Amino acid sequence: MKAVVYTRYGSPDVLRFTDVERPAPKDKEVLVKVHAVSLNASDWEMLRGKPLYSRIAGPFRPRHHILGSDIAGRVAATGRSTTLFQPGDEVFADILSSMGGLAEYVSVPESALARKPADMSYEEAAALPQAGAIALQGIRDRGHVRPEQKVLINGAGGGSGAYAVQLAKLHGAEVTGVDNAEKLEFMRSLGADHVIDYTREDFTKNGRTYDLILDLAAHRSAFAYPGSLLPGGRYLYVGGSVATLLQVLLIGPVIGRSAGKKIRLLAVRLGAQHVTPIVELHQAGKIATVIDRRYRLSEVSEALRYLGEGHAKGKVVVIVE
């Protein structure tokens, strides 16, 4: 089968579009014929091996040689002990822990798969899992956003941010989106009430305060956030620098408690059951998927470069023919 392979960390130039052996499903796995894969910042990070947390599985060389975690496709074969799916079923999943989606076929644990609604396209189904789970857990489950609260989303113009802005508005919040100048109009079009260009203004230094800061691109000291939170407010780290992650984990709870606020990591729970609620919102027309660009499997280097250089407004999807 065709796949996009890499064996060392580096720029998109280290990726090769080549022939590899088609995987065989293990007992509890399902072989999926991939139709669409959406790219996430985690693919970019695992390609480059930066930040350091992206090297957890392979400190010196990538452990998984095929990137791609958000897949949608059709069941091609099932392992001996699977019970839930049949060949031909339309499915989708986030397979962040095993990757392998940027290929014509991928073997996926049955437990990770969700059924694709018939009226949802493969592209939409591939776009939703990781970004949707981050948004739902960040805004609703851990963010506990309520009507009229003030919410700031840092990195709001990217894949997860686009869903998070819409969800926060759905919960009745007043939303501020932070991203680069190219994405200000895009954030407004998603519903953001206020937008900030992070290259011109530091939201931690402008005197404004929020009930929730959802940080998809964290790089400040953990001490920078309490001053931007309202009493009882919370800051959730989703992705960004390892230095900020360590500070949030080690001293965040202490800094937060002393100020009557919460400074925490959002460890996103992945899996079929966590994707279902966001799919329901999507199918009810309450949130929309914005696909910025589509690429072919042979064009993954270009697609990842576009995402990694920060141009993508919403999702970038690879169509596997």
Ligand X SMILES: NC(=O)c1ccc[n+]([C@@H]2O[C@H](COP(=O)([O-])OP(=O)(O)OC[C@H]3O[C@@H](n4cnc5c(N)ncnc54)[C@H](OP(=O)(O)O)[C@@H]3O)[C@@H](O)[C@H]2O)c1
53-80 as b/e: b if 16+ CB within 10 A: ebbeeeeeebebbbbbbbbbbebbbbbe
Cβ(1)–Cβ(20) under 8 Å?
yes
Query: What is the β-pairing status of strands 2-5 and 16-19?
Result: antiparallel
Task: Return the DSSP state at 105.
Answer: E
For position 158 contacting ligand X by CB under 6 A, the verdict is: yes
Rounded CA gap, 208 and 166, in Å? 21
Query: What is the β-pairing status of strands 194-197 and 174-179?
Result: parallel
For position 68 contacting ligand X by CB under 6 A, the verdict is: no
Total number of residues binding ligand X (CB under 6 A)? 30
Cα-Cα-Cα-Cα dihedral of 22, 26, 27, 33, to 10°? -40
With CB under 6 A as the contact rule, the residue among 79, 111, 310, 319 that binds ligand X is 310
CA 38 to chain centre: 9
For position 102 contacting ligand X by CB under 6 A, the verdict is: no
Query: What is the β-pairing status of strands 262-265 and 29-39?
Result: unpaired
Candidate ranges 74-82, 216-224, 288-296, 298-306; the one touching ligand X (CB under 6 A): 216-224
Candidate ranges 130-138, 168-176, 255-263, 287-295; the one touching ligand X (CB under 6 A): 130-138
With CB under 6 A as the contact rule, the residue among 157, 177, 226, 252 that binds ligand X is 157
What mask, x for binding ligand X by CB under 6 A, covers residues 1 to 20?
--------------------
For position 238 contacting ligand X by CB under 6 A, the verdict is: yes
Q: Which of residues 188-207 bind ligand X (CB under 6 A)?
A: 198
For position 123 contacting ligand X by CB under 6 A, the verdict is: no
For position 155 contacting ligand X by CB under 6 A, the verdict is: yes
With CB under 6 A as the contact rule, the residue among 12, 132, 143, 159 that binds ligand X is 159
Q: Which of residues 161-190 bind ligand X (CB under 6 A)?
A: 161, 178-180, 183
For position 292 contacting ligand X by CB under 6 A, the verdict is: no
- The residue (of 44 and 85) whose beta carbon lies closer to ligand X is 44
Residue bearing tokens 């996103």 = 268
With CB under 6 A as the contact rule, the residue among 217, 255, 272, 317 that binds ligand X is 217
Q: Which of residues 244-273 bind ligand X (CB under 6 A)?
A: 266-268
The helix/strand/coil state of 113 is coil
What would the DSSP string read from start to end of 150-180?
Answer: EEEEETTTSHHHHHHHHHHHHTT-EEEEEE-
With CB under 6 A as the contact rule, the residue among 78, 82, 149, 160 that binds ligand X is 160
The one-letter amino acid at 258: S
For position 137 contacting ligand X by CB under 6 A, the verdict is: no
Cβ(143)–Cβ(164) under 8 Å?
no
- Residues forming the site for ligand X (CB under 6 A): 40-42, 45, 130-131, 134, 154-155, 157-161, 178-180, 183, 198, 216-217, 219, 238-240, 266-268, 310, 312
